Amino acid sequence: MTIFIDADACPVTRIAERIAKQYNIPVTLLCDTNHVLTSDYSGIIVVGAGTDAVDLALINLCKQGDVVVTQDYGVAALALGKGVRAIHQSGRWYTDDNIDAMLMERHMAKKARRSAKNHLKGPSKRTKEDDMRFAESFERMIQEAKNEPDEV
């Protein structure tokens, strides 16, 4: 198992690394050339700054049994299709049962943003409670993944 983090502006990278280190699970951070990342634990892959370049690289690298941390519903959907577990920075797990509704939500929000009549507020400022919620959920996902028998 490897943990892949869509690390462009990801607020939970260090939390995920800390938990992965406790379980001795390798982590790979992916970012584009517009970001500078450093890590004492993770491998870092820097890809070109093209549209969706990081997303496509991440999906090409991950395989069944891996874990992906991303806030991008499209990346999560592709990961789920490969048998990869996926989690949002909020701690919400992406699953086959919720991904379609989340993709539809994203589509509707995009339509609303394009409308001159509708202005949507951005996300709230991240809190310590948000970080704790992610950490608890992420650790639960790791424990579940480690306890699942390997595919033959």
Per-position DSSP letters for 22-35, written without gaps between them: HTT--EEEEEETT-
At 116, which amino acid appears?
A
Residue 55 belongs to a domain with what CATH number? 3.40.50
Can you say whether the dihedral through the CA atoms of 60, 5, 17, 46 is positive or negative? Answer: positive
- pLDDT the model gives residue 107: 62
| 95 to 34, 45, 99, 128: CA distances (angstroms) | 30, 26, 6, 25
CA-CA distance, 34 to 55, in Å (whole number)?
Answer: 14
Give the domain range for residue 27: 3-146
pTM: 0.87
Q: pLDDT of the chain along its 152 residues, tens only?
A: 999 999 988 999 999 999 999 999 999 999 999 888 999 999 999 998 888 899 999 999 999 999 999 999 999 999 999 999 999 999 999 998 888 777 788 667 776 667 756 566 666 789 999 999 999 999 999 999 988 876 54
Closest by Cα among 43, 54, 41 to 14: 41
Q: Would residue 152 count as lying in a domain?
A: no
In a domain, 151, yes or no: no
Residue type, 15: I
For residue 51, what pLDDT is reported? 81
Question: What is the reported pLDDT for 152?
Answer: 42
The total number of structural domains in the chain stands at: 1
Domain contains 142: yes
Position 120 scores a pLDDT of 60
Measured CA to CA, the distance from residue 2 to residue 11 in angstroms comes to 19
pLDDT, residue 118, reads 58
